[in-house]
Chain A
Amino acid sequence: MTSRIKANRAIEIFALLLALVWTSAATAVVPGIEGTVTVGGGAGGNDLRAFQLWARPGYIVTGEGNTVYMWGYAQGIATPMNHPGPNLIAQVGEEIRVTLTNQLGAGVDTSMVFPGHVVDASGGTPGFMTNEAANGGNVTYTFTATHPGTYTYYSGTDTSLQTEMGLFGTIVVYPAAGQPSGGGTSGQAYDVDNSTFDFEYLYVLSEIDDAIHNMVENGLAAEVNMNERKPRYWLINGRTGPDTLFPTGAPYLPNQPNGSLSRTCVNHDVLMRVVGAGHDPHPFHTHGQNFRVIARDGRPRVSSAVSPVSDVGISDFTLTVNPGQTYDAIWTWKGENLGWDIYGHEPDPVTYPLPPHLPPLEANEDPADHGKPLPVLLPEDQFLTFGGFWSGSPFLGQDGTLPVGEGGLNPHGGMYYMWHSHTEFELINFDIFPGGMLTMMAVEGPGVDIDGTVCP
């Protein structure tokens, strides 16, 4: 049943929750599970990393207050199922072993496939694509993570229906010494020099036609017609907007642990790991800056096999994300060429007697714009309408006065950019805006702590 909440009330509730639970939102390293490592336990003497997943039904929550019956993957026999499935974190060269136990219910077989890897399956019964587990049974998949990169897994049984129901997830393989080791450390995505990053974020794009889920929930799966599918929800990391902005691990979204609110500092490199997981293409659009694609499907975009950098990736601001495909891109906001000083530096001859009477440059500030005034006169408050992310000041890291009750979603005065599917009707939840496939990237000012990285 759908309970429709008026848009402005939704913003009020949203702002209250955000103010209460504001820490960092999506963590600055990709969320995931690391399984169990047995040193030297692999067939080739390499390390063995084992994961156990349970395919199980559950419910997710949508931004306008609906719940949808899903099939997801749980990390434990009694823990909530996750949608999408957990991100599996591994190191290059390891042997990966995934044991899947099927708890989807009577008559439903399931399996997992891992494009980009050569997989050996044991247990279960041979199915069309790989070995499948009957309800209550299990099957084990083994492969070697030969190359670093961003990968996906999904059900290889009745793939069209089972991926619609939610059975997909991701794998991140780090190169040697590539995984960030905690707050404030950088990482590397591939064995190419320009794949280093200060922050990394995962964006898994999908859709839901909840009518199909209702049919499956009520035992009518045999009557589902996938060729007449019409999605009503669009999701990033298993959440509709604006739930995408709530923290990773939010306790009120137990089956949808991964947020996608992203934060960075000026001139810091953000690694975008973007994965298509549903059935439809989406033009993923980054405001604020172009990104540079450095890899596709877990392989760097290089002009030759010995190229030390990814030298033939495109620079763009819209990424066509197709189901099954993965994309790695680097996004770096430099605040260059804006024509005005983003810190609001003004001449102060008393404090700075020497011309041009300006305070020193901030770290990573564009010298060409130092001290240049904002080229417009901001209207007074009574002539403005307000979005929740307006801090009251146009300057990075600062806020200003706001009418009572306005703002509140931008406590550090950052520059907020909406990252979203540019298919505009995908920004709704069951016809209610805002929602759907949208999230935010915030560029924070000096002194802000992002998961242990303090912006200079």
Chain B
Amino acid sequence: MKTLKLTTLILLSTFVASAGFAQVASYSLVAHQSTKTMQDGAVVNMWGYYDATGAAPASWTTGPELHVPATASTLEVTLTNNLSEPTSLFIPGLAPEVIAGVAGEPVYSTSGSGIGRVHSFTHETAPGATETYRWHNVTPGTYLYQSGTNPSKQLQMGLYGAMYHDANDVNPGTGSAVDGAEIYPGHTYHQQVALLFSEVDPVINAAISADDYGFGNTVTSSIGRTPKYYLINGEEYDPLNPTAIGTEAGPLVLLRFLNAGYQTYVPVIQDLYMNIIGDDGNELPHPRVQYSIEVPAGKTHDAIVAIPCELADRNVVLHDRRGHIRNQIADDPGTTSVVETEEADGGMTVTFQIPIDTACDNCADLSNPTQTDVDADGFGNLCDADLSGDLMTNFGDLGLFIDAFVNQSNPAADFNSDGVVNFGDLGVMATGFGSPPGPSLAVY
């Protein structure tokens, strides 16, 4: 199965199979201090995760994408903490393994007034130390992994990444991973794209990085946070780097939405509708057909888009309709006047590039290699007994068919393209009677 995303790496998981136990997907990560140079030249302080089996990257990225194979139900991540304060790993929606006194239990700190406050949702990894985190019973879906320690402080530094687990790692129709996969039972996709939303306030990040954050410091809290950079998959929009979709074995593209930020985003996609099928790793009972999707902080959504033939050789834009599409491009901190200009058409924007030969089939459920479509309505003849064009095959169409049968005057009624309108075509109409024409991937 091929995956296409903007920057993140795929880790090869260490796969442990024990006789009598479910398979475990194992990863090892390092949490470290890093920086990222933005398009305006500013260098921003970040904290991030990288794969422990490789070298620390020169520049911050979102955490490596973790894949729990379909045959596994446990995720195990060993975390080495190279930060100077405790941290942890937490996955909203999945219960951690709890070992009393050892793992999976919240850690409290004591305030100045003696009140215990939750400091971590789970056991902590001390600076310089290494700890293991496990989640059993991972169910299909898309998940955020993030710091579970003082999240109002640590999460915005960049300690987040995506994890996913599918019901089936091969296309159930063909049995091949090259032809895609199945996220939830019955929901096949040919290609996936992860869209992880987040935002950065460089001033707060600098203060946190310099240990100048909290009570008594220059920046006392994240109240009043004013992000200057809005990112998808840890990157600002790059017009020279569109995301190619519809190039794989078929037209179904799974968009995995995640929001590691602190506010709601509303991506809107032009020219297309999404079938929203997953919410926080829960399969929705009925797909929601929308061109927009609300993604609040911490949310994950799964949506499948079917690329229709009519969009071949076109670019399709997705952007946050809340307008977080202008990132800072110039700042003049050396003067007292704050003039922060921004670029238009940047930020949380993705351009999807659809190739000229995108897969499309005007009778998706039948074999019609010639794709003959006499009335040019997008439904191939073989699945289009709707002669009246009212998107339903019914008695009105039967009347038109009888007329064509008698007069041999309407080639659109030659459903099986054998050169004549006869009982063979009546059989085609009988099969589709009472239903809409199609289904066709050539009709939007």
Contact = CB atoms under 8 A, between A and B. Distances in A.
B264 to A, nearest CB: 6
B273 A324 contact: no
Task: Classify the secondary structure of B's interface with A.
Answer: loop
Contact of B266 (A158, A302, A324): A324
Contact of A226 (B323, B339, B444): B323
B273 A116 contact: yes
Contacts of B294: 281, 320, 322, 325
Interface in A206-225: 222-225
Interface of B: 226-228, 239, 264, 266, 268-271, 273, 285-286, 288-292, 294, 308, 310-311, 317, 319, 321-326, 328, 339-342, 344-345, 376-377, 435-436, 444
A130 to B, nearest CB: 8
Given A118-B311, A228-B226, A323-B266, A128 B345 contact: yes
A109 to B, nearest CB: 10
Given A159-B325, A227-B226, A281-B264, A296 B288 contact: yes
B291 A297 contact: yes
A422 interface: no
A312 B292 contact: no
A223 B341 CA distance: 5
A129 B317 contact: yes
A130 B345 CA distance: 12
B264 A113 contact: no
A129 B322 contact: no
Interface stretch (A71-79, A160-168, A263-271): A160-168
B74 to A, nearest CB: 34
Given A296-B289, A323-B266, A323-B321, 6 more contacts: A118-B308, A118-B310, A119-B271, A322-B264, A322-B322, A325-B266
Contact of A299 (B290, B319, B321, B377): B290
A216 to B, nearest CB: 13
A223 B266 contact: no
Nearest to B310: A118
A299 B444 CA distance: 13
Interface of A: 44, 113, 115-119, 128-130, 146, 156-161, 163-164, 222-228, 276, 279-281, 296-297, 299, 301-306, 312, 320, 322-325
Nearest to A299: B289
A156 B317 CA distance: 10
A315 to B, nearest CB: 16
Contact of A159 (B319, B339, B376): B319
Contacts of B268: 115, 324
A156 B269 CA distance: 12
Given A113-B270, A323-B321, A324-B268, A223 B339 contact: yes
Contact of B322 (A223, A280, A304): A280
B326 A161 contact: yes
Contacts of B376: 44
Given A146-B444, A312-B286, A322-B321, A226 B326 contact: yes
